[in-house]
């Protein structure tokens, strides 16, 4: 091989390696810039999911009281559920930009179900058992999806790791509310 050919090959190899290293440098620079945003988003998602699950548990307590005509606390429960529902809707609106779409859609569905339950109480003086069953089922699905988003099961070594992959997340997101209603019926027997 001639000296000029060797020089050309070595020069081209040097240029190619410089381009590869420069490209990798740009890639890692871009990744390092997005990492803090990704971490901030995840922290906000955790905060929002925890707030939603906490509020839904408070609303469940008041809805349970409103589903019994014998409850001596109907007036207080109606007032309190209204206030907690308002907070829930505010959290839901914040969640629209923070949570994954599948989880937000379920939170929105739960919000609609809560509104219907409150309306049912206002018009009939009680939340019927069928409505309570659906409400509790939606709450269970939101809680499970929140656990998946937060990664509770993945981060706990002693967990059963039910939801350790995207496939499992999609499986839970695709479950119908009727499935959770059926589980609630079995538990209530």
DSSP 74-142: HHHHHHHHHHHHHHHHHHHHHHHHHS-HHHHHHHHHHHHHHHHHHHHHHHHSS--HHHHHHHHHHHHHH
At 7 the pLDDT is 77
Low-confidence ranges of the chain (pLDDT < 70): 1, 6, 25-35, 153-166, 169
**What are the respective helix, strand and coil percentages of the chain, to the nearest 5?**
85, 0, 15
At 155 the pLDDT is 60
At 27 the pLDDT is 65
| Alpha-carbon 56 to chain mean position | 13
Determine the Cα angle at 92 with ends 143 and 163, to 5°: 25
At 159 the pLDDT is 43
At 158 the pLDDT is 41
At 99 the pLDDT is 93
At 161 the pLDDT is 46
């Amino acid at each position: 091989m001639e000296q000029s050919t060797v020089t050309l090959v070595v020069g081209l190899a040097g240029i190619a390696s410089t381009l590869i290293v420069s490209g990798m440098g740009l890639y890692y620079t871009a990744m390092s810039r997005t990492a803090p945003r990704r971490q901030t988003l995840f922290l906000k998602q955790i905060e929002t999911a925890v707030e939603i699950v906490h509020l839904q548990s408070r609303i469940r307590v008041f809805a349970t009281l409103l589903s019994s005509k014998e409850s001596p606390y109907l007036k207080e429960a109606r007032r309190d559920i209204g206030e907690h529902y308002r907070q829930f809707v505010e959290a839901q609106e914040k969640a629209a930009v923070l949570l994954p779409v599948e989880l937000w859609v379920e939170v929105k569905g739960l919000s609609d179900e809560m509104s219907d339950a409150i309306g049912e109480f206002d018009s009939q003086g009680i939340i019927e058992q069928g409505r309570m069953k659906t409400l509790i089922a939606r709450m269970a699905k939101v809680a499970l999806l929140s656990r998946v988003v937060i990664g509770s099961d993945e981060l706990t070594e002693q967990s059963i790791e039910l939801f350790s992959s995207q496939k499992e997340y999609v499986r839970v997101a695709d479950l119908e509310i009727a499935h959770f209603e059926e589980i609630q019926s079995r538990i209530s027997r």
